Amino acid sequence: MRSIAVIGSLNMDIVNWVEKAPLPGETIRALATAYVPGGKGANQAVAAARAGAMVEMIGGVGQDDYGEALLENLRASGVRTEGVLLEPGVSTGIAFITVDALGENSIILAAGANGKLTPEKIGTEDRFAFRPDMVVLQNEIPYPTVAYALTYFAAMEKYIIYNPAPALKLPEDDYRKINLLILNETEAAVLTGGAVGSAEEVRNAAEILVECGCREVIITLGGRGLFYRNRERNMMFFLNAFKVPVIDTTAAGDTFVGAYAAALAEGLPVREVLRFASAAAALTVTRKGAQTSIPERADIDLFLRDRQCRK
């Protein structure tokens, strides 16, 4: 079993479930409201740990109740938290989330302590709870910190999974440091500068991204599944998504990333890893909230066994 360090954000999600998101100038009533542990980094760490991996979280929270609640939830999910810094004088990151009746969300981020995670605070792996074999990164911390981690861990030949969410255009040099890029269609459009919707556009975007230098690319396509491309093994294929009722899509992408890392750390072959991560993400959309919706290993195995029997 290989170990995983997730370097990224922790947020308290303040979620309003509504019939329909408000238009500009409109005031509406929420159907329900909740405070839910979230943040793309923490969600991915929880997904990997619940899927059975050895995981540590590297990030920052404020010295407040939200920060304490987030750390407690990580620990309860089996994630090591020694690498999460308590930032004085700043609040824990907050995400204001609206989820409509179709399960689609919109998110406003207040970075708080996530914005204070400088490269110096990542330092070297000596300050981590353990030396990771695999490193998982996203974009809710400052990009110079992401860039530092890419350079430092690539030089150490760690396996790097990068989920460029929220999307931003990457410096060309950084692509070569990424083993696996996992992104959705919207993010792929930002990184490649072209439309990404049709099957052909998806294939082209993945081609551009591997030509930029990353070895593998997964473009997730929501209910349509995903596209996988591996440059070195010259592999490419589409994989369908599992059909499930959609309640709330929050953290589905994060669950895919974390579960993928966990299954890869176990040494499963790529098609099995993809199926496992897709099952975990499918379960997530059937439940409400971010970390409240991320499945345990037993749920994922049961879901997959059930689908196997129905074939």
Of 254, 299, 301, 306, catalytic: 254
In terms of CB distance, is 125 or 187 closer to ligand RIB? 187
Tell me which of 250, 278, 284, 292 binds ligand RIB, using CB under 6 A: 250
Closest by CA position to 114, among listed 87, 138, 93:
93
137 binds ligand RIB (CB under 6 A): no
**What is residue 156's DSSP assignment?**
T
Give the burial class of 139: count Cβ atoms within 10 A of its Cβ; 0-12 exposed, 13-18 middle, 19 or more buried: buried
Interacting positions 10-69 with ligand RIB (CB under 6 A): 11, 13, 38-40, 43
Q: Among this protein's residues, is 299 annotated catalytic?
A: no
Identified binder of ligand RIB from the candidate list 56, 140, 185, 216, rule CB under 6 A: 140
**Beta carbon of residue 281, minimum distance to ligand RIB (angstroms, whole number):** 11
On whether the CB atoms of residues 268 and 286 are closer than 8 A, the answer is: no
Please select the residue that binds ligand RIB; options are 135, 290, 294, 300, rule is CB under 6 A: 290
Q: What separation, in Å, do the N-terminal and C-terminal C-alpha atoms of the chain show?
A: 30
Pick from 251, 259, 262, 283: which binds ligand RIB (CB under 6 A)? 251
Q: Which residues contact 303 (CB under 8 A, 6 or more apart)?
A: 242, 279, 282, 283, 295
- From the list 94, 64, 68, 93, the residue with the least C-alpha distance to 81 is 68
User: Where along the sequence are the contacts to ligand RIB (CB under 6 A)?
Assistant: 9, 11, 13, 38-40, 43, 95, 107, 140, 250-251, 253-254, 290
Residues with active-site annotation: 254
